[in-house]
Structure 1
Amino acid sequence: MAGEDVTADSVQQRSAAYRLYTHPWSQIILISFICFCCPGMYNALSGLGGSGQVDSTVAANANVALLSATAGTALFIVGPIFDHVGPRICLLLGGWTYPLYAGSLLCFNKTGNGAFVIASGAILGVGASFLWVAQGAIMTTYVSEAQKGRAIAAFWIIFNLGGGVGSLASFGLNYHSTSGTVSNATYIALLVIMALGWLMGVLICPPSAVRLNELQPTPETEKKNWKRTVALAIHTIADWRVLCILPLFFCANVFYSYQQNIVNGMTFNIRTRSLNSALYWIAQMLGGLIMGLILDIPQLTRPARARAGWAFLVVTGMTIWGGGYAFQKWLTARMARGLKQDIDFSQGSLATGPIFLYIFYGAFDAFWQSYCYWLVGTRSNSPAVAAILVGAYKTFQSTGGAMAWRVNALGKPAMTQFAMDWGLCMGGLVIALPSVLTVTKTSTAVVEEDEVEKEEKIVGPATKD
């Protein structure tokens, strides 16, 4: 019958649409665009130096509050909550805090209310925990092991496109500005985009709907057992291989305060800071692609890829930070003469070198964080375990960032901040080496089967509360 044929066709079309919606890569792209709108636009703000203000102290203290709140919630609060409510609820709980923070900066432009900015930063810290734990679990477990590097690269490209586009918009809006602060229109535009990203969170589907054989489901009994969830978190983090990479996590944002508030914020005028911010995040897109391709080289075994990524970080780190040392000596001499926030991109050779250094700093950040996420992906294909590991990542990343932003807010010498960042990064790579050398050829899924029995002995069998 014609009516029956139409009904059958419509059912097939709906079924095909649902399969596309629940495809792992569809969810990867969706979470990437959510991060494009929320943390991507936040990055556009923070990359301006002082979040676009002449006095960077309020923004630095807001970042301390933000990162301290993230460090205090990501691991043992948000990680277990993710296991119980899933990524969609986590994204909806966390996403609204981004437009709140942009609104607080708009308010500061009008009223000078710094306390509201700092309080909004603390609230955003909790919201960011929810968003990043959900994002990390999706990115590291929703695709097969052979594609994890590409998934990280795809996410990093789309996410940092947000920072690039937002900064280019700020560049256009502030092209003729002489005030030293960004316009109200900049904050309003970023606020609207952040709100859109928050609403997109309703489209994320639960892990149980994703079609991937390697995705390890969490039994329903585990989801209802908070005691087991916390015990599993402790067991996961206590693994010596995880402990060795915690310094990598600690250093993942430790250089932001120096790069954004000193290299960019104290060297260039407002329109050039906007342009540099765009170039910084665009460089992150390229950096994520490069590291993703290295970590997915088909001719190399998984242990060889782990070592290649580590060696690449060492070589690029020493090269880029070495160039940064020469820049910082030059900047210190300029600031001693009272010169700051004065260089424009149109000044030729005076601006070219510092701008390119800032671009390479952006690429190195992408190298570092992409490698951290890939190491997380080698530990587990379980969304629950991945959420714990990503929670640990965000906790230690935020702790390092809060420490660095506080050092910046206290006005410590720029050379001191530079030396601290370079030393911590290289030291973190050395400490991580034993863990890097133990990455196995065996797939994560197979390794987990061998670990299940050990976990049961430690945390006990799953039972309903």
Structure 2
Amino acid sequence: MEEPNFTEMGGAGQLDSTVASRANTALYSTFSIVGFCAGTFLNYCIYSASFYSYNHTKNQGFVTFSGALLGVCAAFLWCAQGTVMMAYPSENKKGRYIGIFWAIFNLGAVIGSCIPMANQWHTQKTVNVNDGTYIGFMVLMAFGGILAWFLVPPEKIVRKDGSRVQQIRHPSAISELKGLYQTLILDPWIILLFPFFFASNYFYTYQLSSYNLYMFNTRTRSFTGLFYWLSQILGSLSFGWFLDISFLTRRSRAILGWLFLFLIVNSVWGGGLSAELLLHRPPSGTSEQNFAKFNPVIDIYETERGFVGYFWLFVFYGFMDACWQTYAYWLMGAMSNDPRRLAYFAGFYKGIQSAGGAVAWGIDMGKIEIRGLYISSWALCGAGLLCAVPVVWKRVRDTEMEEEEKEEQGELAEVKA
């Protein structure tokens, strides 16, 4: 996720989700603005440090500032990531590569979930996350920044079939800004995916900062968060593999993928209705002792209170998210192979996606009843899927190979012959 992965603990580890909601609103607001143009120009530690500081100083301003700064940094990072993930693989392997990326990405979240679970396992009461959790995240984030320096540049990539990534052009900033507009003119189908993009980060607020926060206590949230991310790994790998099945045409895979996503989305959200009816936002200033009066706050060992069923619901929320994100990237990758255009697509995706996240976290900060987040999340998912139907039906073709790629493939075949 764009913000550090202690979000699944609910409220970023704080009992009151207002502080985290304010930081995430700032994060996604800046992310949504910079995300649009990040494809044009192509410190996470500060975010974790701000919550470490908040545990001791209650300085909300630092937390909000760190969220805004993280949004700017994340916009450039994720636009570059989206371009690499969609442009590096060949057409018949894009689903696989997207699935592998999402699996590796969520492996970091799995490790991140183990840190608070180890630190809080012997704490059954609903309390804030301790300092060791935030310090562990800061170490992991610093290490991840170092690894980024070892990424292979596109001009040195040679695919298994001998082909290369299309040459990436680096025109001026002004011409790149014009390119955003030209992309909308040349490929207006992308506009129909905007509702799909908007929903893709909106539902995190309900899943992570409402359902997981109010349904379980601290140590249990860490446990459920671990399996939430593990299910994301399973979902991305399996769905990415399906989207690359060779005996089906790409258009057929696009249609079947949409149908599967439609079924899983409505099944999971529909199955979560009975659980949502148990959740209520406690009044501001509610003490830790009275927190459980308004919500289940179930412990991992309380099987008689239905822990197993609520646990599996959260796991399927993660599986659904992985399928949603994988399909979104695969659809964009099916619309072009040009790295420059894919950078624009990634910029649109991350910008609009983050706008959805900013709206959802802002709603959460406004203390709206949880049911409003649940209903709006389900409705936006349905609207996004319906708006994507024309793109799936009309725009996805069996190949998006550009002329220069065809010439390169022809030359390669002659050399092999």
Instruction: Please confirm whether the aligned pair reaches a TM-score higher than 0.5, indicating the same fold.
Output: yes
Deviation at 1:206, TM superposition (A): 2.1
Residue matched to 1:292:
240
Residue matched to 1:277:
225
Tell me the distance in 2 between the aligned counterparts of 1:204 and 1:115.
35
Residue matched to 1:168:
114
Tell me the distance in 1 between the aligned counterparts of 2:399 and 2:165.
12
- After TM superposition, the structure 1 = structure 2 runs for residues 292-311 of structure 1, keeping only pairs within 5 Å, are 292-311=240-259
Of residues 23, 31, 45, the one that matches 1:70 is: 31
Aligned pair count reads 393
Question: Deviation string for 1:14-46 (max 9, x for gaps)?
Answer: xxxxxxxxxxxxxxxxxxxxxxxxx58812x11
Matched, 1:314 2:262: yes
Q: Which amino acid aligns with 1:348?
A: T
Question: Deviation string for 1:76-126 (max 9, x for gaps)?
Answer: 2x21112xxxxxxxxxxxxxx111111111111111111101100000000
Contact 1:40–1:162 (8 Å) recurs in 2: no
Tell me the distance in 1 between the aligned counterparts of 2:253 and 2:244.
7
Matched, 1:218 2:130: no
Deviation at 1:339, TM superposition (A): 3.3
Contact 2:29–2:71 (8 Å) recurs in 1: yes
Deviation at 1:340, TM superposition (A): 2.5
Residue matched to 1:340:
295
Task: Return closer, same or farther for 1:181/1:333 CA change in 2, 3 Å cut-off.
Answer: closer
Residue matched to 1:89:
none
Question: Deviation string for 1:349-393 (max 9, x for gaps)?
Answer: 421111111110011000100000001111222222111110100
Task: Give SS of 1:417's match.
Answer: helix
- Which segments of 5 or more consecutive residues in structure 2 lack a partner in the other structure? 284-290, 407-417
Tell me the distance in 2 between the aligned counterparts of 1:449 and 1:241.
23
Q: Which amino acid aligns with 2:40?
A: P
Tell me the distance in 1 between the aligned counterparts of 2:48 and 2:250.
42
- After TM superposition, the structure 1 = structure 2 runs for residues 34-433 of structure 1, keeping only pairs within 5 Å, are 39=1, 42-43=4-5, 45-76=6-37, 78-82=38-42, 97-177=43-123, 178=125, 180-212=127-159, 213=163, 215-219=165-169, 223-238=170-185, 239-332=187-280, 338-340=293-295, 342-350=297-305, 351-433=307-389
- After TM superposition, the structure 1 = structure 2 runs for residues 441-452 of structure 1, keeping only pairs within 5 Å, are 441-446=397-402
Aligned residues: percent identity? Answer: 37
Deviation at 1:226, TM superposition (A): 2.6
Tell me the distance in 1 between the aligned counterparts of 2:296 and 2:69.
31
Deviation at 1:253, TM superposition (A): 0.8
Task: Give SS of 1:249's match.
Answer: helix
Question: Deviation string for 1:304-352 (max 9, x for gaps)?
Answer: 0111111011101111000111211233599999332621010014211
Task: Give SS of 2:103's match.
Answer: helix
Deviation at 1:279, TM superposition (A): 1.0
Residue matched to 1:88:
none
Q: Which amino acid aligns with 2:48?
A: A
Q: Which amino acid aligns with 1:277?
A: G
Task: Return structure 1 stretches of 4+ with deviation > 4 angstroms.
Answer: 332-337, 447-450
Task: Give SS of 1:143's match.
Answer: coil
Contact 1:40–1:163 (8 Å) recurs in 2: no
Task: Return closer, same or farther for 1:434/1:245 CA change in 2, 3 Å cut-off.
Answer: same
Task: Return closer, same or farther for 1:370/1:202 CA change in 2, 3 Å cut-off.
Answer: same
- Which segments of 5 or more consecutive residues in structure 1 lack a partner in the other structure? 1-38, 83-96, 451-465
Task: Give SS of 2:247's match.
Answer: coil
Task: Return closer, same or farther for 1:180/1:448 CA change in 2, 3 Å cut-off.
Answer: farther
Task: Give SS of 1:252's match.
Answer: helix
Deviation at 1:169, TM superposition (A): 2.0
Question: Deviation string for 1:44-97 (max 9, x for gaps)?
Answer: x11100000111100011000000001010112x21112xxxxxxxxxxxxxx1
Contact 2:281–2:370 (8 Å) recurs in 1: no
Tell me the distance in 2 between the aligned counterparts of 1:111 and 1:331.
30
Between 111-120 and 326-335, the greater mean CA deviation after superposition: 326-335
Task: Return closer, same or farther for 1:167/1:99 CA change in 2, 3 Å cut-off.
Answer: same
Task: Give SS of 2:272's match.
Answer: helix
Tell me the distance in 2 between the aligned counterparts of 1:41 and 1:131.
12
Q: Which amino acid aligns with 1:113?
A: N
Tell me the distance in 1 between the aligned counterparts of 2:19 and 2:292.
25
Task: Return closer, same or farther for 1:245/1:349 CA change in 2, 3 Å cut-off.
Answer: farther
Contact 2:51–2:134 (8 Å) recurs in 1: yes
Q: Which amino acid aligns with 2:41?
A: I
Contact 2:126–2:217 (8 Å) recurs in 1: no
Q: Which has the higher helix share?
A: 1
Task: Return closer, same or farther for 1:215/1:438 CA change in 2, 3 Å cut-off.
Answer: farther
Task: Return closer, same or farther for 1:333/1:253 CA change in 2, 3 Å cut-off.
Answer: closer
Tell me the distance in 1 between the aligned counterparts of 2:309 and 2:383.
27
Question: Deviation string for 1:251-303 (max 9, x for gaps)?
Answer: 11111111111110011110001111111111111110121022111111000
Task: Return closer, same or farther for 1:192/1:371 CA change in 2, 3 Å cut-off.
Answer: same
Deviation at 1:398, TM superposition (A): 0.3
